Amino acid sequence: MDEKELKTSTKQRVVIIVIAFLMLGSMIASYAGIILGGSKASSSAGSSSISQEKIAEYEELYDQKKAEFKTATQSDFDRFIKYKSEIKAYNETTANSGGIQTRDIEIGTGRELTEGDYDYLAYYVGWCADESVFDSSFDDDTKPTAFNTILDASLGMIEGWNLGVEGMKLGGIREVTIASELAYKDQREICGGYNKPLRFLIMAMPNEGTLKTLSDELSTARMKLQYAYYGIDYDTMSE
């Protein structure tokens, strides 16, 4: 899917490097199985520099922002979910030899995305040739009832995604099939192996107004919780 390289301040990047080293220690190992939306943080924080009360506060904030996002984007979800039946198996060999293949399902009414235009948000679902979903904006990949996240394209996408949305109008829904050479090649294992093609259903939206605000707030709440699970209080980083 996306490369998701978060935009951070110099101080935040230093902290991230520190976290990378800490991951070699036993404290971080205790958090290895934590997944947002599933298990909560371990009650034994060890040498963590953040209290369990603060972690609980960030968990509550994150849950609140997810709930707000789900409620506000329900109408978008209702549009998108109608095409869940499009998530079906496809020929891996054909997809891998086809470069970029696109199919517009709904034409949007907003501006047209051109080369180098990454100023937009996107709901999405990505799946493999065998029909298995590897990532999505859904709250549940099997029986989704709402969106619980949205992608900010400015954070960095794989080449095939960027090429696949060119010419798409905001508000529209497009199916994009990406050959491995324009996805992860042999650099990342996905869909059960390397050099695998990917297929996405993408609904591109304007990066503005209420949706942008909700996206930013949800992203910040998620970041605060992630840092808290590594024993760092995000709110004190700018002090």
Q: Which two tokens stand for residue 230?
A: 């590594």
C-alpha 132, offset from chain centre = 17
Q: Distance between CA 26 and CA 47 in Å, rounded? A: 10
Percent of the chain residues topping a pLDDT of 90: 77
Q: Answer yes or no: is pLDDT of 148 > 60.
A: yes
**Domains contained in the chain, CATH given:** 10-37+46-72+212-236 (no CATH), 76-209 (3.10.50.40)
Q: What angle do CA 98, 104, 110 make, to 5 degrees?
A: 130
Helix segments in 7-73, DSSP class H: 10-22, 26-29, 52-72
Q: Distance between CA 39 and CA 44 in Å, rounded? A: 14
Contact call for residues 71 and 214 (beta carbons, < 8 A): no
Number of C-beta neighbours around residue 130 at 10 A: 10
Contact call for residues 231 and 47 (beta carbons, < 8 A): yes
For 176, what's the count of Cα atoms within 13 Å in the CB-facing half-sphere?
A: 28
Q: In this structure, which amino acid lies at residue 96?
A: N
CA dihedral 205, 206, 209, 215 (to 10 degrees): 50
pLDDT of residue 237: 77
| pLDDT tens by residue, 78-121 | 999 999 999 999 999 999 999 999 999 999 999 999 999 999 99
**CB-based contacts of 57, cutoff 8 Å, min separation 6:** none
Per-residue pLDDT averaged across 185-191, rounded? 95
Q: Which two tokens stand for residue 76?
A: 């978008």
pLDDT of residue 46: 38
